[in-house]
Chain A
Amino acid sequence: MIINHPLLGPRDAAEFVVKGDANLINRPDWQADDAAQQFYEYAYLRDNPAGEHRELWYHEQGDRSWLVVTRNTLTHEVTKVELARDVARAAGRSA
């Protein structure tokens, strides 16, 4: 698989470490009344879809940026690659 890095261009997937579902960006509010339930679901439960999947890839053998890769789990086709920081900022996760 080739990951089209937004800053570095096409890179071999072997340069990356896969973390998993990009929903891990959306850490729950630890002060919520049902925080225990929310963190259980956040840490342990996954949609694990057959088809389009947004996931976190870390460019360990490269510039060490975190990416959000949109990839099809049936065909391995990569359709979109974003910097995770852009995704997190757009979701209001960081300054």
Chain B
Amino acid sequence: MRYSGFKVLMEGLTGNKGWKPVWREPDPKPDYDIIIVGGGGHGLATAYYLAKEFGEKRVAVLEKGWIGSGNIGRNTTIIRSNYLLKGNQPFYEKSLKMWEDLEQDFNYNAMVSQRGILNLIHNDPQRDAFVRRGNGMHLSGADAVLLDEKGIREMCPFLDFKNARFPIRGGLWQPRGGTVRHDAVAWGYARGADERGVDIIQNCEVTGFDIQDGVCTGVQTSRGAIKAKKVAVCVAGSSSRVMAQAGMRLPIESCVLQAFVTEGLKPVLPGVITFGAGHFYVSQSDKGGLVFGGDIDAYNTYAQRGNLPVVEDVCEGGMAVMPMIGRARLLRMWGGIMDMSMDGSPFIDKTHIDGLYFNGGWCYGGFKATPASGYCYAHLLSTDRPHETATAFRLDRFMTGHAIDEKGQGAQPNLH
């Protein structure tokens, strides 16, 4: 079924009786060409592009719970391509370009809104760093505008420009950045994949990999054994747990990232705003709530809830940059588990086991990467070669000295 304004009109006139479930609930077949482990945003996007762009006919997505129940449903919905390093930035710019065409591509309203993202500058060294970053963005074809204090005042008059400790001196603005309706991304990809014959199998937990003589030939699941020519793991947040079943240790630690939303307010924020002196970012959802977040809780955890010290830190950041946020009441807060990698950058690669592939390590930047991650993973799975924008995301890069460390923090995952 193709969605359109005409379809909505016709259904409205005929009692809305024509709407059908948008994906099937098939039982697993005994074997597939490609099995994707994990029905989150990246896994569903991978399945969609495998079917649509690479002509793969026999693909299944196995999901432990229900699709979209992980971080695609728990993030702060921001899209942007304002990275610096050449291993990262072309990939994220590809992703942003894909976001721009996504809704037409999969015929689903994902509410992609390019309302811009503004990174504030508070001192001279930070301006130098952001000038450099902006130039890096231009080199990849992305957009970046350096604003002075006057420019920020025109755009966001409500910020605390007179903060004695963290005065606002300017900002780096990416007009093409913005926000997306996150759940709709999972649903849109699931619908598009299902339409093209992908089996999306929910409540099907992978409990082991069939590995013989260094070759992966299938998976054991809570719904029986399933054979596959290729098994593609895509379970960021649980990567270490799942890959341990294949005997692998990963350059990843798991931490929780908390996010917050206030009561609904009238439109007050023009776009996404990030504080440059602490870690705080905020946008306003179309329902009116201020959606914001900050640092991860620094300890290893698999519990989808955080602790109060980080809540306090995030709220202090908000009050320092935007004091009016203190008048809003907090409605909800939640946490999602992040694959924190050793350099803050992700992995899209083969493993040393033939037929077993890995996608993960997205730290807390996975949502914006969803379309390109799916496309590049599908490219790798179908052609056995990495996509040209994802050649740096190798699992063995720490062994060979090719880390992609945007912040230069070194192998300390909770600082990325």
Contacts and interface: CB of A to CB of B under 8 A. Distances in A.
A23 B337 CA distance: 22
B241 interface: yes
B249 A45 contact: yes
B73 interface: no
A13 interface: yes
Contacts of A19: 412
B299 A18 contact: yes
A2 to B, nearest CB: 11
Contacts of A13: 299, 307, 309
Contact of A73 (B298, B300, B399): B300
B251 A73 contact: no
12 contacts: A1-B307, A17-B298, A40-B398, A45-B249, A46-B249, A48-B241, A48-B252, A48-B300, A71-B299, A73-B301, A76-B303, A76-B307
Contacts of B252: 46, 48
- Chain A binding surface SS class: mixed
Contacts of B413: 20
A74 interface: yes
A75 interface: yes
A43 interface: yes
A44 B398 contact: yes
A53 B300 contact: yes
A46 B250 contact: yes
B374 to A, nearest CB: 25
Contacts of B249: 41, 45-48
A35 interface: no
Contact of B414 (A20, A47, A76): A20
Given A43-B342, A44-B398, A74-B302, 18 more contacts: A18-B300, A20-B253, A20-B412, A20-B414, A21-B253, A40-B398, A43-B398, A44-B251, A44-B411, A45-B249, A46-B251, A47-B244, A48-B250, A49-B240, A53-B300, A55-B299, A73-B303, A76-B303
Contacts of A12: 309
Given A20-B253, A20-B414, A44-B342, A50 B398 contact: no
Interface in B216-275: 240-241, 244, 249-254
Nearest to B302: A50
Interface of B: 240-241, 244, 249-254, 298-303, 307, 309, 342, 398-399, 411-414
Given A18-B299, A20-B300, A48 B307 contact: no
B240 to A, nearest CB: 4
Q: 8 closest Cβ contacts across the A-B interface?
A: A48-B240, A14-B309, A44-B398, A45-B249, A50-B302, A44-B251, A18-B298, A18-B299
A61 to B, nearest CB: 11
Nearest to A69: B299
Nearest to A20: B253
A46 B240 contact: yes
A40 B300 contact: no
Contacts of A44: 251, 342, 398-399, 411
A66 to B, nearest CB: 15
B367 to A, nearest CB: 22
A71 B252 CA distance: 18
A50 B301 CA distance: 7
Nearest to A41: B249
Contact of B411 (A18, A43, A75, A76): A43
A75 B256 CA distance: 13
Residue of A13, A18, A44, A76 contacting most chain B CB atoms (<10 Å) = A44
B253 A48 contact: yes
